[in-house]
Copies of this chain bind each other. A is one copy, B any other.
Amino acid sequence: MDHLKETTLSTTPVYSGKIIDLEIQEVLLPNGNKSKREIVKHPGAVAIIALTQENKLLLVRQYRKALEKTIVEIPAGKLEKNEDPLECAKRELLEETGYECGSLEYLSSFYTSPGFADELIHLYFTDSLKECKEQQPDEDEFLDVLEVSIEEAEEFVKNQQIHDAKTAYAVQYVLLKRKLEKDA
């Protein structure tokens, strides 16, 4: 795929923050011209598709300052430095929902915004939730936990109460899984 490659000519750091960094790269395009790329660096994240014993999908409701609104998402969070994604997924599930889980199945990893950011999100599935303890959110994190049937979650997608890519993916994942199990 070398005919598509862009070579970095120079990198200008713009901002180094708590969660993200921003840098501008001057690049050499495949046709020999130059262009600029604005690049957000992110530590990566995990998200968990979790079904309760009653077959309900675990969701969290959270205010997202970037959107200036409260939205509904599957439990998720960013990786700490050198943290193993699986351990991160267990930690975030416990912190955000109070649930521990017996086992977590790794599904896949996806880039969320490849046009401007390197954020990679690792997706896990569990239907072996254990006893629910108290939430232990980060000190600057406030959220409500919801448990909804897959039919309710589908409705949330249709009426855009679910407005988040990973969560829409999660709802589709559970629907498709059920279809395949029913057909098997």
Contact = CB atoms under 8 A, between A and B. Distances in A.
B163 A111 contact: yes
Contacts of A3: 142
A168 B119 CA distance: 15
A103 to B, nearest CB: 20
A33 interface: yes
Contact of A117 (B117, B172, B176, B179): B117
Most buried by B among A20, A36, A62, A71: A20
A8 B63 CA distance: 12
Interface residues of A, number: 73
A164 B114 CA distance: 7
Q: What's the number of copies of this chain in the assembled complex?
A: 2
A14 interface: yes
A39 B15 CA distance: 12
A127 interface: no
Interface in A113-142: 113-119, 121, 139-140, 142
Interface stretch (A24-32, A49-57, A79-87): A24-32
A20 B24 CA distance: 11
Interface string A67-109: 1001101001010000000000000000000000000000011
B33 A115 contact: no
Contact of A33 (B109, B119, B139): B139
A25 B108 CA distance: 33
Contact of A109 (B45, B118, B163, B172): B163
Interface of A: 1, 3-6, 8, 14-15, 17-20, 22, 24-25, 27, 29-31, 33, 35-40, 42, 45, 61-67, 70-71, 73, 76, 78, 108-119, 121, 139-140, 142-144, 157, 160, 163-166, 168-169, 172-173, 175-176, 179-180, 183
